Chain A
Amino acid sequence: MIYEIKNISFHYSSNKRLIFKNVSLSLKKGQILSILGPNGAGKTTLLSCMKNIISPVSGEIFLCGKDIRKMNVKEIASLVGYVPQSHTPAFGYSVFDFVLMGRAPKIMMYHKPKVEDEEAAWKALEMLGITHLAEKAYTEISGGEMQQAMIARSIVCHPKTLLFDEPTAHLDYGNQLNVLRLIKKLSNEGYAIVITTHNPDHAMLLGGLAAILDKEGNLSVDHVDVIINEKLLKNVYNADLKLIKVPELSRTACVPSDL
């Protein structure tokens, strides 16, 4: 078991309203969990708790069998790879150096990356097929390439699990599918993966588990085919969405019925 989350709740210290309450879920090696929910429901906050950047006000999180509160930041960082929403850094670091920063959990403070770290970064670039970008400035590549570089950075320490915060936001349609394909491939390699997304169809394409975080802060988790139904989608998004079996694709797709 990679993640074992028991009854966690969270609110910010400035506002006592619970962002989510009594959330429980567990995640095994190779499993994908897609978290769906309306804007502002607290999906990113939940990921931050799973990364121990913030701590839940109650409940427990176990990462690889250990209580996350008793682990140090480096230990957590080397087990959990994090792919943030796209961003623009102030400086145009080369893609290679950007990926190399992912080795930080393995490097002691006051030390610098060694040749073995550089080789690991290069391998991550090779795995994603972006070695041609190594020397390019991170600020000057396309959104899809940035997402690839961020994924390369998250796997450079060989973590057990990867957290993606809306990996398909800001990408064109083709690149959205590329990223989903990559996520599927990574889960086949054994990574336990959590993604947040706004698109129910993405969860259905990925398969595995899905979770819905509603405005009240309740999270329900189950297999994606079980949990996603038209009534629930209507509730969460306040829109008419239809689940349609597509025989040509032998899968169910989620499409809006009308405008």
Chain B
Amino acid sequence: MEVVKKRKAKQNVINIAFVLLLLFLVMLSLYIGKYPLTIKEISQILLFKSLGKKGVWEPMAENVVLGLRLPRILAAILVGSSLSLSGATYQGIFKNPLISPDFLGVSAGACIGAAIAIIMSLSSTYIQLFAFFGGLLAVMLTLTIPKLIRSDSNIVLVLSGIVVSGAMSSIMGFIKYTADPQKELATITYWQMGSFSYVSMGSIYSVLLPIVLSCLVLFVLSWWIDIVSLGEKEAKSLGVNVSYVRNITVICATLLTASSICIVGTIGWVGLVIPHFARMLAGPENPRLMPTSYLMGAIFMLIVDTINRTLGSAEMPISILTGLIGAPFYGWLLYKQRMRLQ
């Protein structure tokens, strides 16, 4: 039993270190930017505001901290952690380390849902709902193809995801083609590229509840995802209600992806790459992988967005940066795991 206890202790150390690192990065990210601020000012604003007291500082400083930087930081943390947690969930539940929200067509589906809602000029609540059902529909389509051809292999699931994503991007193209180029097209394009620049506290509040609930459910079910990942028959023989666990976790993971897409648009690669990094550090068991993956996703997104915000004069769509980091890493991963994938 000693080894088991030792492993738990090691796990706690890793997670505590990540929490501290995240807190440090939040402060750092509040500090750096074009408008110069001192640590003292930032702490004063945060402390006094959260206690509801009045303090003396420049109104511009408060605006930068609370109106600009804090919402972006919170959004980066929320989106990064949501995407990597949903990626880890999909990988576990479909017993396939090669998939992610993007590869299953979830992101493309959610994007179409959102685009339809934008064209119909619906409110942000509806955009969120449409994005969720679009994502859910896409993932269901992706899962149907392997069933139709009666194949359980990892590669077929990945290929099926490519088929669905391809169809989705055609539909997306059609929607864009018919959209009003002055207003709607720009909004839809912004969604597809992903950006943190228009995030407000309001948009964060609107997705907070579904995100927090989904994360809680996934953390609580993490051990059961391990069992389902052994395969349907084996999980059943262990007395597990496989379809219940699968349905609940897929809904939660899709809700996480759709909610992220609602506030910042599609951001590629995070849901694929971060769970892999986390698996190397924490091991493949979901009860240990998921918290680490969650924290690493938050840290990664915060770093990338802070760099994006402070480097250069104009901001790039965030997917460009995550792709530049994610794609080579995925290549390296394929190289490293080439023995196991065969």
Contacts and interface: CB of A to CB of B under 8 A. Distances in A.
A75 B238 CA distance: 10
Given A53-B233, A101-B226, A134-B3, A90 B96 contact: yes
Interface string A75-108: 1111010101001011111101100011011010
A91 B238 contact: no
B239 A78 contact: yes
A122 B229 contact: no
A105 B229 contact: no
Interface stretch (A112-120, A175-183, A235-243): A112-120
B338 interface: no
Given A76-B239, A105-B239, A109-B224, A94 B287 contact: no
A149 to B, nearest CB: 12
Nearest to A47: B237
A103 to B, nearest CB: 9
A110 to B, nearest CB: 5
A73 interface: yes
B285 A97 contact: yes
Interface string B46-68: 00000000000000000000000
Contacts of A109: 224, 241, 244-245
Nearest to B95: A90
A78 to B, nearest CB: 7
Given A73-B236, A77-B237, A122 B226 contact: no
Contact of A51 (B154, B227, B237, B283): B237
A74 B237 contact: no
A84 B287 CA distance: 24
What class of interface size applies to chain B in its complex with A? 35 or more
Contacts of B287: 112
B3 A73 contact: no
A74 B236 CA distance: 9
B167 to A, nearest CB: 26
A138 to B, nearest CB: 9
A139 interface: yes
Interface residues of A, number: 37
Contacts, number: 89
Contacts of A80: 237
A135 interface: yes
B67 to A, nearest CB: 39
Contact of A73 (B92, B221, B241): B241
Contacts of B96: 90
Interface string B278-292: 010001110100000
A90 B224 contact: no
Contacts of B221: 110
A74 B238 CA distance: 7
A91 B340 CA distance: 10
Interface in B253-299: 279, 283-285, 287
Contacts of A102: 238
B237 A134 contact: no
A118 B220 CA distance: 18
B230 interface: yes
Nearest to B1: A122
Given A90-B96, A90-B97, A77 B239 contact: yes
Nearest to B223: A112
Contacts of B95: 89-91
Given A76-B239, A105-B238, A112-B223, A91 B4 contact: no
Contacts of A96: 3-4
Contacts of A51: 237
Contacts of B7: 135
B229 A90 contact: yes
A91 B240 CA distance: 19
Given A78-B239, A90-B96, A90-B154, A101 B1 contact: no
16 contacts: A53-B237, A73-B240, A82-B234, A84-B233, A87-B231, A87-B234, A89-B229, A90-B95, A91-B92, A91-B229, A91-B279, A104-B240, A110-B221, A112-B220, A112-B287, A122-B1
What are the 6 A-B residue pairs with the smallest beta carbon separation, nearest first?
A77-B239, A91-B284, A90-B95, A105-B239, A82-B237, A74-B239
Interface of B: 1, 3-4, 7, 92, 95-97, 154, 220-224, 226-227, 229-231, 233-234, 236-241, 244-245, 279, 283-285, 287, 340
Given A97-B226, A107-B223, A122-B1, 18 more contacts: A51-B237, A53-B233, A73-B236, A73-B239, A73-B240, A75-B239, A84-B233, A87-B234, A89-B229, A90-B97, A90-B229, A91-B226, A93-B284, A97-B285, A104-B240, A109-B241, A112-B287, A119-B1
